[in-house]
Structure formats: structure tokens, C-alpha cells
Structure 1
């Protein structure tokens, strides 16, 4: 059966490649403490903007949060007189906390994520013993995207693609000729995302990546993280489908699904858990909001002992 969502995304990209007015302007904001790239994407014709994968600053030793990373984005948006219509999360991150609620309070916009967040809420709601007060229906978000669902950013077309494997909720968002692929894939010299978190699946990840790499060769791919591969001195977060197909060290053309799954599974067994996984997931499944304060007015992060 034809992949109608990918076909629609490819047609959208091709239109944008031939018509400059259909291409978004993109600014990346790199947070070196979490190796995360947040993006502000806007339509030059209308100044409507989307913010993807924002970062809330968090000091794990003290449990204190701050907003310097988010404030950089606010300053940029306001300096360009943009109107934020979307606050998008590619998935419930395990390596940083989302600043979406803070940005929404300051700038507006609808908070969106893939519908798979419901599965992630169920799994981690049990792990953190979140209780019956924690809704596991995605209601913490304003919009839950399904595979192939269309949206717009001003006059620019957008389409959401479900790309599970790293987590069940991972989505890629195609806006004009640009694809924001979250944690599916990294720069060609670094490879691909891990697939050993609860609900992750290396075989699914391979298929999701190959699905993305079936988009037109010159599709611009914007990545959520960079860790500077050995031998590279600069951080980087943009590539193309062609570059990934020719050079990705884990999943370039010619790598079989079997070989990828074997490599990814073996490699993941050697990796430590992200240092912020406990606070990040616990907050991000709530749409970036802290757990409700207890009777002393303080919010608490749970750390399950010997449970993972």
C-alpha cells in the first residue's frame, strides 16, 4: 500500500522547493548543557511562528529552574514582531525539560505533540506512581497530531509524520521544505537515536528513519541534538536527506534492517541513562508542567529506586 502521508509530504516539499514563498525562515537555538537545539520557524509573509522543542533550564543539584534559554527565544520572537501560533514537541524528551508552558504564557500559541503521548503517559504514569489525578489522555496538550495530519503556519503548509522507535510518541514535522525530525536521527557522522527507553523499538526506528529518507533528496533536515562526533570541532544540526542516505554511519543506503537492529541493540546496552531523565520525563508527560504542589506549596520530583 502506498504511504499516502509520505507522498503528501514529498509533494509539499517539492512545491516549496520551487516556490520561495512557501519556504519558512528558521533560527536554531543551541543549549550546550543538554545538547539540544530549539527552533523558531516563521512564515515571512505573515510573521506567524512555531517554536519546536524548547528548553527550560534546570539545575539538578538544587532542583531550581530558570528561563534564560527560553528568554533568548522570546527576545528573538519579539524583536521580529512574530506571532506564535504553535508550540511543538517532537516527543516527551528524556534529556531536557520543555519550556513550552512558560513560552505559551508569554507568547501564546497552541501546545502540540503526537497522539502517541498517551502511551508514554500510561507507561511512565505507572513508573512514577502518578496516581489517579494524573490524566493519561493527552489533555495537557492543546493538539494531538496523527500521522499525515495537516496544519499551517501562516501561508506555509505543514504535515505531521509519526516516526516511532526512539519512543512511541515521536513525530517529525514537515513545514514547507524543512523537516524537524526530533530524536530519530543525528548528523551523518554521529548516527541515530537510541531505542532502549520504555516503548522504544530499534526495528521501528529503522523503518521510521527509512521512511523519512524517502523524502526528496534536498529536503532540509533539522535535528534535535548534536554531540560533536569524534574529529568534528563544531556543533551542527542541519543536513539533507541526500547527505543522510549517503553518509549516515548507522543507517545509510545499503544498511539492512537486521544489521541496524543488531548494531542499535548492542550499542544501547552500553549507554548510560540521560542525566535528566527522571525530572524530564516526569514533567514533559505533563506538557512541561511541574507536578502539582503538595500541602506545603512545593512541587516534588519522584525518583523510583531500583525500578529501571
Structure 2
């Protein structure tokens, strides 16, 4: 059996008339004649197969079927208008400035960009890979529209905590696990201070009374991975971007999870910025799930 299809123009007239409590006013707003509106309402009732409006005094009131139809019609119109709005916005040109920690930039950036450009192919993105302190300063001074950072306890007016991930002790493939601690000083490979992972590593070792020394500092995650792979020491990081030739090492003091936060420079972001934020959240959720299922 072929199902009838509602005419969205007819539904818009119906919804507008009910909301204005006057189909004459609806005719004016929609730039239609009153006779055209009456014809639309008649067509609607013929499609539904039962009255949706009945006279009450000098006006009209909804029947129970009309009340149900009104709810469905509003949702259909909202979906229709949302589709056209999205299609219109997708042709918007402009520039969005996004800042990322190197961990996120190295591992998630391509996926974030892929999701975003599917919706906004005309937008230009300016990417800044930097440390937390610099990213937060840029957001606060409107130098970035969005910034994805580690949660260091620093708050900003428009920040959303998106989740957290575990920190791990990481070493070369041939590093014993559990780590053999014979009282010798543990060599560490870390960013220079201030660094939330550096602080977490040294605090955990101090609490466990394990002696340590900074064997190497690097301004980049790539430099840290290279030094760890060379056997110069251990590092504390998350699994984000963990190279296949390195591995998580057990036997060292536990460390807490590390949160990540998305900062926005404005209270009222544009639709394109909202879409980019949604792309970031989706990519992070997929990434977190892959960690949860990793062996």
C-alpha cells in the first residue's frame, strides 16, 4: 500500500496558525491568501482522514488527533529546517584557529580534520601545536578559537572537561616488566617544567621513595619517544600516539588519570566552531574506546 506523504508547506501553515491562534495571521505571515490557507487545511484533514480542528465559539481548537499531529509536525519542520540550515552553513567560508597539545595533534588531528571538512569544506583551519601554558594564554587572549589541553587545574571561562585517560610508565621493548628496582636511581625522560606529566611522575616516585634523575628533556613528544627507544630511560605519558616499538611498563608506582579539556575563546561560538568541537569530542570518544579494548 502506497503511503501518503505530508506536504511540509501545509504542515507549516497548520503549525503557524495554531501557534498564532489565528489562521488569518498565519496567512499574513506566510504571505498566502486566506482561501489558500483554508484549502491547505482541507487537504491536511483529507490526508489524515479525520478533523484536526473543530469550531469552539468564534475560533478553532485542536482535536485529540490534531494535538498529536501538531507535535509530529513541529518535529518534521524542525528536521527540515535543520537540514537546510546545515547545508547552507556548509558553504560558509572563514577561518578557525585550533590549538592542540602535541599528543593530540600527532595522533588525532587527521581524524578531527576529516570529520570537520565533511561538513564545512570551505572553511580554513589554522592549527597551532603547543604546550598547555601557551595554548591557554592564546585562548584567553582570543588568539585561538578552540584549544584541546590536558587538565592541569587551570580554568577558563568557557571550558568543557571531555574525559580522561590513564597515564602509564613507558619504556623500550626490552625494558624488564615489572621494572627491576635495585635501589639505583631511575632515569627519566620528560618535558621540561612546567609539565603535568612530569609533576605526576616525580611526585609518584617521591611518594614511593624511589630515587630518580632527569636523564633527558625534550621539547617534543617525538624526541621523548626517540630517547626512550634508545634505552636512555623511562617516561610517563598516556597511550595517545604510543609507538609500536615502545610498551607500558609495570612495577612502578601508580599514577592518577589525566583529564583533557576543550577551551573556547567565546561564549557564543559560531556553528562552524561548534561543529569542530563536536568533531573533536567524537574523535576522542572513539580513541578512548580503543584504549578500553586494547590488550
Compute the TM-score of the two structures, normalised by the length of structure 2. 0.20
TM-score (norm 1): 0.20
Bigger helix fraction:
2
